[in-house]
Amino acid sequence: MGPLLWNVFVHDLLPKIPCIKYADDTTVYNVVDISQVHIENSTSHKASLVFCDNPLQSAADYASSWCEDNSMLLSVAKSRSLTRTR
């Protein structure tokens, strides 16, 4: 019964970008076109990517306020950001 009740409880956690919910984990993701990304501080080994519009930040803000409204703790230590390119 626990997993079913958990899914009912988190059903209204809906950021404005796609998300995947599984058990007590929620993953938000976004696919951006290369035209929306600017490269700064580029070297041969690393570069900083700057997004023109960062919907992941607004999704993180939404999740944080949702957790606060529902008396839940958001585990910032377990939060990660991953950028993949092809």
Task: Tell me if 85 is assigned to some domain.
Answer: no
Q: Which helix (H) or strand (E) holds 56?
A: helix 55-69
Residue-number span of the structural domain to which 61 is assigned: 2-78
Residue 84 forms part of a structural domain: no
- For 38-55, the pLDDT digits (tens) are 777 777 777 777 777 777
**pLDDT the model gives residue 36:** 75
For residue 25, tell me if it sits in a domain. yes
pLDDT for residue 86: 62
- Tokens matching residue 46: 């690393």
Contact status, residue 75 vs residue 63, Cβ threshold 8 Å: no
Going by pLDDT thresholds of 50, 70 and 90, the confidence category of residue 3 is confident
What size, in residues, is the chain? 86
Number of structural domains, the chain? Answer: 1
- Mean pLDDT estimate for the chain: 76
| Residue 32 within a domain | yes
